[in-house]
A and B are shown apart, each in its own frame.
Chain A
Amino acid sequence: MESIIEVKSLTKRYKEKRAVDDLSFDVYKGEILGLLGPNGSGKSTTMNCILSLLNFDRGNIKIYGKEMTPNAYDIKRKIGVVFQDVAVFDELTVYDNIDYFCGLYITDKKMKKKYVDDAMKLVGIEEYKKYFPKQLSGGLLRRLNIACGIAHKPEIIFLDEPTVAVDPQSRNNILEGIETLRKNGATIVYTTHYMEEVEILCDRVIILDKGKIIASGTTDELKELAKTKEKIRVETKELGNKEIHEIKKLSCVEEVLYKDNILEVMYTDENNNLENIIGYLKSNNIKYSRIFSERPTLNDVFLELTGKELRD
């Protein structure tokens, strides 16, 4: 796979605090790479270092095989950035904002007009084209912010938590838009602390904590890291200590919890667990109302690796 961005031993300190600590990773052509981490884990700092906005203490960053510097205009031309904070002109309409920022990259008037229209369509704000930012809801404003960053059809796109504090409708819209961008050939670095988004969207995920990579891989690979491969929950009122003890002895069972009439069984393997537990309940004549099976989430992985929840 072709590496488009190469980050090597990136270290960035704010005064004494290490915000990013010896980070190395590659971004491959055409993928959506998720940078997943809790607040303050160094996602934005990493992004701003890659973009040559921030000085860093150690490491080097190459994009398209060339060192990234503040005046690497040929590289910058191919990049689109959506920053965490909304950055638009309050004095300009939706259309004019996109037109302005697109104009920093695209000079051809006809092409620019088409690109601006495409960007509005992509995030679904055509109807609001004459609105001013102040008249938009939070979700729509975020969508405008995204449109401003990607209107010039960049090859590489950085998105820093584009869905923070948006309504579900806008969120779906945004995620679909990003999916479309990738289909059109863009390589995307997507920063978030929502693991669900990463699971839906990203081909590869890097999990950050305190400026360090604690795990990386596809979501499936990451889930492999979790000791618990399956979690089965059963609603039942009829369990005693004896039964719980017996369930613990079933094959591949890692842990059993029984609280508030809910039985939770954790498995270290994911084969036939549902069959086994149902078989046991039947043969012991234990009645149950509902039964669920869950695969581990990235949150579980994070919890196991760091001992804390991804979201606080």
Chain B
Amino acid sequence: MDAFLRLENPTEAQRAYRRWTLLWLTTAFVLFAVVGLLGLLMRLNQARWLSLPPELFYAILTLHGLGMVGTWFVAGMAVLGQILQRYVNPSLRASQIAYFGTLIAVLLLLTATLIGRLGVGWYFLYPLPFYPSGVWPLWASWVFLAFLTIAGLSWTIWVVDYLRAIASRYRLSEALAWPVLFRGRELDVPPVILIATVSLVAGLIGLLAAVVLLVLYYLEGLGTGLRNDALLMKNLTFFFGHVLVNITMYLGVAGVYALYPGLSGKPPLKTKRYVAAAWNVALLLVLLAYFHHLYMDFAQPLWFQRLGQIASYLSSIPAAVVTIVTVLALTYGARGAWTPSRLFLFLGTMGWAIGGMAAVIDSTILVNFRFHNTLWVPGHFHTYFLMGVVLMLLGFGFRFVHELSGHEEPPARSLGWLVALGGYGFLAMFFYGGVLSVPRRYAAYPDEVASGATLAQLATVFVLLLLTGLIIYAWHYVRLLRQAWSSG
């Protein structure tokens, strides 16, 4: 049994770190289950099989969106920490601070949305938090800002600590593989260090944008008389939101780079020149792509818009091509067994390719004119999330408990089919909703887009399939948890 995650003679510190990774992943999976069921609830409501009051629907929408984005970001960070730990020394203390910060943040978010009925959507577009239209009380907006602040701060600490850990072993040029890139030299730096550095630096920049955004919110909210400009706030919001979501994708990809070769019976990957080039380009372009969220704001300068489309097209190509071809090449002729972890990493890469293309299509200004804020949008991001990162990280988690507990993985079959069929069926209804011009974020569909309700009905059926698959997954995972913990 290949054991990337299971070290031969782990030190006490390494064992402690593993336990925390296990705790992080388990926590994330529990959160996923809870907010995932909320997703089902929303679909049921849109299907007209349930009739939630709109304020509850929109509170749930907010909780589901932010809950999911946060959950998979921390799960990805935890996985990255576990991988980094082979090469450098991320601090356990930083991870613990992030953990408790995240827990407090989750409580605050639950309070603001479920008790306070705050419904601002996952990107809380300014100035909506200040215009509750009688639905949520003022305190809920403040609890929400506190949630953002605490989550932002604890995650910033975490990101900075990983960077510190990398910097204490590698030079910047090494971490970004510049000798390979510019001089074609062989370098003893694994690709995950490169991917980690790119993701973490971009992530830090995104989090700093959130800091600026929050400071502006506080300045206005505290009654200093300052009023903010809606366009600037929207830019900052999507700068931060897009980067964070994109980085989460990369964190999952780091898991693929680390695990997939071993699972396919191949040696670890080397940092080749094209890998170095692809990820350096990604660092540059990931910061510019967010402009595609503002195409329908004609007030945004024209060259921002064009830059947005160009960056969106180009940012997806290098990293995706390199990763996808690598995964395909590792698969072809590998003869490894299709265990759930290997299958999930494989399917996750495929989901990235499919969802990524849906995103590229929507990042075309001409197309965005017809798709912006229709169900096409949740369609594409659920694809690269649910069928991408989530599968990658679920795959990692599956591998993790099996290696730690010393068990062989079961065969993947029914699990794989249920997840793939359920997942893509659920997604297809979003995409087709976009084709039929059904708006996103509608608690109930008006007559013009009544087809949205039919699609939602079909979607729920697929969600149930997906759910069955996930329950099977959970059964395997939970069964080994105790053993993994004590050997961890």
> Do the two shown chains form a genuine complex with each other?
no
B residues neighboring A (CB under 8 Å): none
A residues neighboring B (CB under 8 Å): none
